[in-house]
Amino acid sequence: MKKTILSLFVSCCLMMQSSFAQLQTGENVAVTNTDAGKVRGYINNGIYTYKGIPYAEAKRFEAPQKPKAWSNVRSSMTYGPVAPLIDPTTSVMDEAEFVFNHSWGFTNEDCMRINVWSPNINDGKKRPVMFWIHGGGFTAGSSQELPSYDGEALAKKGDVVVVSINHRLNILGYLDLSAYGEKYKKSANLSVLDMKIALEWVKTNIANFGGDPNNVTIFGQSGGGAKVNTLMAMPSAKGLFHKAINQSGAFRTAMLDKTTTQAIGAEVMKELGLTADKVDEIQNIPFQTLSNAGKKALKTIADKMKEEGKPVIGFGLSWGPSMDGEVLPYQLFSNEAFELSKDIPLMIGTTVNEFMPFRGSMPNSTTDEKAMETIKKMYGDKTDAYIAAVKKAYPNAKLSGMLDYDVTFRPGAVVQANQKSALAGGASVYMYMFDWQSPVLDGKFKAVHCMELPFVFNNIARCHEMTGGTKEAYALADKMSQSWINFAKTGNPNHKGIPTWATYNATNTATMHFDNTCVVKPQMDKELFDLVK
């Protein structure tokens, strides 16, 4: 009897002990090799964690190179610097900042850093690698910007290795100086080359972190999703990853051509008062001066393009990848680009509301009369057709919520899924939509852009401000993160916790709707897209 009681007591103590976070640090803790030298991280909740490891280095506007080797064990326990921003945050929207809970980090042009989370580094296992690329368009963001990006919970749940990176952005990543000498030959797409060399780092080093370099999934959201598409269209990146997930990032805007990007580069040089023989002086100009010159140059070239009748999308030109004929020889939605990534399984989707809560959204308390007045102001004589199309797509839609449904991000996802799934002998495509509505602040933020991230990373506990931390949120995160894990392992996101998720094609348009009750439905919003083109 005493023995039984003692055993129960010991078991209870062990259970209590395991319920608390276990942090291990020290000189000989979590030490492993990279091709540049040894690194030391820490172990938290059984997950080996490394932050801020240099994966490359470069002079300003020059191609990335392997980092210089180090001789001592490099402490790698803290996130590295983030890329300088052209528009630093100086004022805050209080409620939105509460929900998103950004961590801005510190900036430095030497920002090529990689983070790794792994269940083990010494057991000989080859775990799937999930390579995360942050959002923020092509001009902002970082691997540590949102609490949802932390890879510990996903690594622990899925027995996978999670990786994330910082890389060059905005003018530092995309200013085309190729007309000014060999060293700047690839300057128009340096940010993309940073991502590629980070993937090469994974190929070379990830086995030392318990990962399998032959099973790498790239995934990203918003600008990160667009970067996924960019890598899929990059011939020299072929073979560095094996599956892809695009979350709210199927941007269809055509990339600029070399003629335009070189014109922008020439205008920046003019703004800075630099002649071709003085081009190297651009490496020493203060970032803010450089950034201001870049803004003026973009506006000048955009105005010239408008005068010539050339299309300028949205508010004007911006920094981003361009079709330079070498790093990126094809437009992202071209047949050549789709053929290049034909054998890459793809999961793609959006949230149901995306940026709509910030664009004319009406409070839930809005009367039907006031709601109808607002809808008529926007759609005029198309109002009845718009309401009918919304109700077909979303039968439970209220008049006060009629303007909240995304018609910006999802159409691109549908086009991409249709094109990719039509490739003869191509890899599988899986489509999803994130419908779950956050209860935070009386439901004001709905399924806003980024809302799916805590669920994908199984990070509800870190993101109560965004999700409310409800039991429903935890339950859905368990289902969604398992789908992402299974896709990374096998290219198939199905598991016992969700309905059968069929592969997508333009005929069945099978779409998994993630909500408190998950369902698979065909596309219901085609008429809505046609109406708002």
Task: Give the residue numbers marked as catalytic.
Answer: 222, 354, 449
Phi, psi of 347 (to 5 degrees): -110, 135
List of residues 6+ apart from 355 with CB closer than 8 A: 406, 408, 409, 448, 449
> How far apart, in Å, are the Cα atoms of 281 and each of 136, 278, 296, 522?
29, 6, 19, 57
CA 280/CA 232 separation, integer angstroms = 32
Question: Residue 245 in 3-state DSSP?
Answer: strand
Helices (H), 435-514: 440-443, 453-456, 464-467, 471-490
Question: Residue 74 in 3-state DSSP?
Answer: strand
Other beta carbons within 10 angstroms of residue 308's beta carbon come to 7
Q: Of the candidates 499, 488, 486, 524, which has an alpha carbon nearest to the alpha carbon of residue 130? A: 488
- Per the rule left: phi > 0, alpha: psi between -120 and 50, beta: everything else, 491 is left
Beta strand 37-40 with 346-351: parallel, antiparallel or unpaired? unpaired
What tokens were used for 480?
Answer: 């969604």
CA 297/CA 317 separation, integer angstroms = 9
Return the residue matching tokens 């540049």: 36
- 522 contacts 511 by C-beta, under 8 angstroms: yes
What tokens were used for 487?
Answer: 């896709």
How many helices (H) and strands (E) the chain has is answered by 17, 17
CA 152/CA 163 separation, integer angstroms = 10
Residue 529 CA neighbour count, 13 Å, CB half: 12
How distant is the alpha carbon of residue 459 from its chain centre? 16
Residue 180 CA neighbour count, 13 Å, CB half: 27
Question: Residue 358 in 3-state DSSP?
Answer: helix
List of residues 6+ apart from 398 with CB closer than 8 A: 364, 371
Largest pairwise CA distance in the chain: 92
- 516 contacts 436 by C-beta, under 8 angstroms: yes
Other beta carbons within 10 angstroms of residue 200's beta carbon come to 18
Strands (E), 113-257: 113-118, 127-133, 161-166, 211-221, 243-247, 256-257
- 350 contacts 410 by C-beta, under 8 angstroms: yes
Return the residue matching tokens 């094996």: 242
Beta strand 429-434 with 511-514: parallel, antiparallel or unpaired? parallel
CA 347/CA 244 separation, integer angstroms = 7
